[in-house]
Amino acid sequence: MDDATDSPTHPGAILREALCERGLFQRDFAATVGIPVRYLARFINGRVGITSEAALRLAHYFRSSPLLWLELQLTYDLHYARLRSADLIRRTVPHDNVRFAAGCPPADANLEDDASPAPSASAADADGRLE
């Protein structure tokens, strides 16, 4: 797919076609796979994205992978996010000049300077109260 010319298909449209090919009605299919009818209708019409739960259920029914459904949604979402935001992001978000490398300190290493030390077990008296 060329991002400049081709638009990805929403996974709901793929599901709609699969249901049509099999002669399945949305209400019956929703009941079969345990998805709310309202959600299924909104998904098929491209109004909502797929959830992880729905991806698991569709993958089981169609003997496919939940990652297939999630990757279809991710491809669709990224395509339209790029169309909406790429120019703004390029203009307003700077690049970090440091490359990630192995051996970097953990993300919270700098927080230790500001944190007060936690009370040790020896700081509690016999009743468990802190001194």
Residue 55 has pLDDT above 50, yes or no: yes
Residue 30's domain spans which residues?
11-90
Is pTM beyond 0.85 here? Answer: no
Of 35-44, 79-88, 99-108, 119-128, the least confident = 119-128
CATH of the domain at 17: 1.10.260.40
Would residue 120 count as lying in a domain? Answer: no
Residue 130 has pLDDT above 50, yes or no: no
Confidence tier at 96 by pLDDT (50, 70, 90): confident
pLDDT of residue 108: 64
d(CA 121, CA 1): 60
Would residue 101 count as lying in a domain? Answer: no
Would residue 6 count as lying in a domain? Answer: no
Would residue 115 count as lying in a domain? Answer: no
Residue 2 has pLDDT above 70, yes or no: no
Residue 84 has pLDDT above 70, yes or no: yes
pLDDT of residue 121: 47
Tally the domains of the chain: 1
Would residue 49 count as lying in a domain? Answer: yes
Would residue 95 count as lying in a domain? Answer: no
Would residue 105 count as lying in a domain? Answer: no
pLDDT digits (tens, 9 = 90+) for 5-33: 689 999 999 999 999 999 999 999 999 99
Would residue 113 count as lying in a domain? Answer: no
Residue 113 has pLDDT above 70, yes or no: no
